Amino acid sequence: MPSELVVPAPRPLGVRGSDGQWRIRDRLDPPVCFVMAGGGAHGAVQWGLLQALSETDIVPDSIIGTSVGALGGAIAAEDFGSAVNRLANVWAQLDLSRLLGEHWIGKRWMTAALSGSLADNEPERKALTEILSARTFSELTTPFAAVTTDVASGAARIHDSGDLIDALLASSAIPGLLPPVTVDGRPQMDGLASANLPARPAVDRGARTVIVLDTGSRPEPAADEIVESQSRLIGRVFSVMSTQQRRIQLHAAARDATVVVLPTPDDLGGTLDFRETMGSAAKSFALAREFLADLAGTSGKLEVGLHCRRDESVATALGEVKLWPVVAR
């Protein structure tokens, strides 16, 4: 039997403005930055989150993203008003063959022996040039930055000028899977290793309110399932690193800014499995829509600290960070 359809109900009339949008923006201290995490195929979650945000009056003053979040961020920064519709087309077509090439599995051992990576960057470069019209950061209409990890130093590097495609390629160059990309004379790799969810860099760049668009999570698999395939092992490494980065980044940002964490699904498939992207987006849309309705139903300025569901994993071990739970109504 087919799984249950995930279709949210109409929005409550009481929290809509005259134009049908939920009024939240005037309760946020500007500038407002959308922070978009990396997550491979889980990037479809951010499409659902943006769908929910499109029903509010929240528009970003800037966007920063890592890996697949950098791709979604660039699309939003190119034309925010059409981002949700454009991402629908992207996620309806995107899969590993478009990013790694149709025959990457058959060629991967030879490629790894010659270059140290299982695939090359050219299929992804082709996909990026087909998705985006902009070729440089200056062509984007909303200020945007992509995060990479400097191979030599291991430090996060923020790219907000120059060649956009090279920066996006570097931001998603997962070590071992894709080779590093040289940007401004220095090899760069996936921002996962340094700032997969770049909330603190957003604050350091001037944001007073951070809207977090994460990419969800998956149940912890059994050890024998992890080691039975290379893609699962890569996905598990990605999951462990991103979980650690998430907590560090959110707590660092919430000390000095208002950080709003949109809820995301916790029952997703692998980060390299593109078969369930539509379901991932639908789940995240429903969760974020309910959260934003609850937020719109409250009053007053959102204070510095962490605004999230009480059961969010980031709400633990807060230390000096103030927690402002957004309670389901």
Query: CA 218, 286, 192 angle in degrees (round to 5)?
Result: 40
Helix (H, G, I), strand (E, B) or coil at 153: coil
Is 138 an active-site residue?
A: no
Spot the catalytic one: 150, 190, 214, 273. 190
Establish whether 311 is a catalytic residue: no
* Contact call for residues 66 and 191 (beta carbons, < 8 A): yes
Q: Could you tell me which of 239, 236, 241 has the C-alpha nearest to residue 223? A: 236
3 state SS of 16: strand
Task: State in Å, rounded, how far the first CA of the chain is from the last one.
Answer: 32
Catalytic residue (choose from 67, 217, 242, 284): 67
54 residue type, one letter: S
Local structure of residue 120 (DSSP, 8 states): -
Question: CA-CA distance, 65 to 30, in Å (whole number)?
Answer: 19
* Burial (Cβ within 10 Å: 0-12, 13-18, ≥19) of residue 68: buried
The CA-atom distances, in angstroms, between 74 and each of 8, 51, 221, 285, 317 are 28, 16, 32, 20, 33
For 204, counting Cβ atoms within 10 Å of its Cβ (0-12 exposed, 13-18 middle, 19+ buried), the class is middle
Q: How far apart are CA 80 and CA 215, in angstroms?
A: 19
Active site residues: 67, 190
